Amino acid sequence: MPAKMLKNSAFGAQHGTKASSFDFSSYEGVEVFENSDSVIILPGFCDVHVHFREPGFSYKETIKSGSMAAARGGFTDVCTMPNLNPVPDSAENLALQRDIIARDAVIGVHPYGAITVGQRGEALADLAGMAGGVIAFSDDGRGVQSDEVMLAAMKQAKELGKMIVAHCEVNSLLRGGYIHDGEYARAHAHRGICSESEYAQIARDLELAAKVGCAYHVCHVSAKESVELIRQAKRTGVDATCETAPHYLVLDDSDLKEEGRFKMNPPLRSAADREALIEGIKDGTVDMIATDHAPHSAEEKSRGLEGSAFGIVGLETAFPVLYTHLVRGGVLTLDELAALMCHNPRRRFGIECGDSYSVWDIGAEFTVNPDEFLTMGRATPFTGDKLFGVCQKTVYQGKTVWEIK
C-alpha cells in the first residue's frame, strides 16, 4: 500500500487533532497509509507504573515479554516497580535488574529504587548509591507506615534531586479486605477495603511533602477523597502529582464478577469515585494515566476474588480502552488523552520521547482475547470486550519494535 510522508502541520489537518500540544517536528518522515482517515500517529506512550517481575519472579513476566507487550500497546518508555527478588535497595541489587534491561528490553525501561531496605518500611535503602541509576524511589506494593521513615526519605530524595513515588495504604485500615468496601462487598459477603486506607496516607504524605519541599507523586489513585486532597494540595503549592489507571476510569464495583481478573489493589471503587477521577483528569488534578501492569500466573489468578493475587495486566489494552470509552464517549479529546499517556508523564519524570512513536488504526474494532497477548499475564477485566484502536506499528528511538505483519 503506498505511503506518504507526514509533515508536522499535516497531523491536525488530516486527522482532526491539534498538533500544537506536542512537538511533532521530529516525526517528519513517518509513514502513514494513504486514503485512510482512521490511521494516525501518536508520540510514544510513557507508563510510569509497571511490574515486569524480573529478577525473582520471571514465571510471571520478564523484561523481554513485558517490554514487548508494552511496544504492542504503543508504549516506548516504562518505569518498573521494585517489588522484585532481590529488591533493588542497593546499587548491587539494582545492577542485576539493569543488566537484564540492557540485554533484553526492546523499549526504554527505567527502574525504580526501593525507598526502604527490602521494602519493609523500616530502614532507608541506599538511596544515594542508587540515585544515578533509578528514575525515582518507591516501595510500591506497600505503603510506608512510619511517618519518621517517610519524612527521612523525602529529605534525602530532595537532596538527591529525586522524586518519592508512593503507594498509599494504611495497613491497620485494611482489615483483611480484598475488594472495595461498597455495595458489592456487602451484597456478596466479601471483606472490603475502605477508601480511608488510601486517602489517609495521602493526606499524611502531602503534609510531609509540603514541609520538606520534595517532589512527590501518588500511585494509582482510586478514591474521590484522594482526588480532592491532591487538588487542594496543588492549590497551596505542594510539588505533587498523581496517576490513575484505565480500569478506575471506566469500571466500578458494580462491574465486579466473582473472578480473579477483577481483583487489583487498590480495588475498583464506587461509581462516585470513578466520576471523581474523571473530573480530576479533566481539571488537571490527575496528571497522568498509568497501567499498573501487574502480571501473575494463571493459577495465582484462578482463586476468585478472595483468594487470587492482586493485580491485572494492562499494557496491550490501555489505549484502546481509553480511546473507546473516553474519546469516542466524548469525555476527552484525543489530544487530551495523548497528554495523559505521553506528554505529562514524560515531563514530570524527565523522560524524553525522542524519535519514538506509534501508528494506530483508530477505526479498527477488535475483541479482547488474552490468549493473543504478548505479556505472560492473562488476567484482565476487559476480556471479551469490543474496543477500537489497533496498534499497527511502534518505533522506539528510530527502530521498529512492533509491527503488524
Residue pLDDT, tens place only, 117-161 = 999 999 999 999 999 999 999 999 999 999 999 999 999 999 999
In this prediction, residue 37 carries a pLDDT of 75
Environment class of 186 (CB within 10 Å of its CB; exposed 0-12, middle 13-18, buried 19+) = exposed
Read off the C-alpha cell for 136.
Answer: 525515582
In this prediction, residue 303 carries a pLDDT of 98
Q: At 36, is the pLDDT very low, low, confident or very high (cuts 50, 70, 90)?
A: low
As a CATH number, domain 44-357 is: 3.20.20.140
**Mean pLDDT computed over 332-357:** 97
**Mean pLDDT computed over 33-48:** 84
Question: How far out from the chain centre does Cα 15 lie?
Answer: 27
**Mean pLDDT computed over 301-306:** 98
* Cα 87 from Cα 119, distance rounded (Å): 7
Domain ranges of the chain: 44-357
Q: Which of 10-14, 67-71, 318-322, 333-337 has the lowest average pLDDT?
A: 10-14
Nearest to 21 by CA among 341, 239, 277: 341
In this prediction, residue 6 carries a pLDDT of 33
305 with 259: CB under 8 angstroms? yes
**Mean pLDDT computed over 29-50:** 78
- Catalytic site residue 292? yes
Residue 16, pLDDT above cutoff 90: no
119 with 110: CB under 8 angstroms? no
Q: At 405, is the pLDDT very low, low, confident or very high (cuts 50, 70, 90)?
A: confident
78 — phi, psi (to 5°)?
A: -140, 155
In this prediction, residue 10 carries a pLDDT of 31
**Mean pLDDT computed over 209-229:** 98
In this prediction, residue 19 carries a pLDDT of 31
Mean pLDDT of the chain: 92
Condensed to tens digits (0 to 9), the pLDDT of residues 81-94 reads 999 999 999 999 99
Q: At 15, is the pLDDT very low, low, confident or very high (cuts 50, 70, 90)?
A: very low
In this prediction, residue 4 carries a pLDDT of 26
Instruction: Please give the helix or strand (H or E) that residue 168 lies within, else none.
Output: none
367 with 386: CB under 8 angstroms? yes
32 with 362: CB under 8 angstroms? no
- Kindly name the residue from 292, 355, 361, 385 that is annotated as catalytic: 292
Q: What is the pTM of this model?
A: 0.93
In this prediction, residue 35 carries a pLDDT of 52
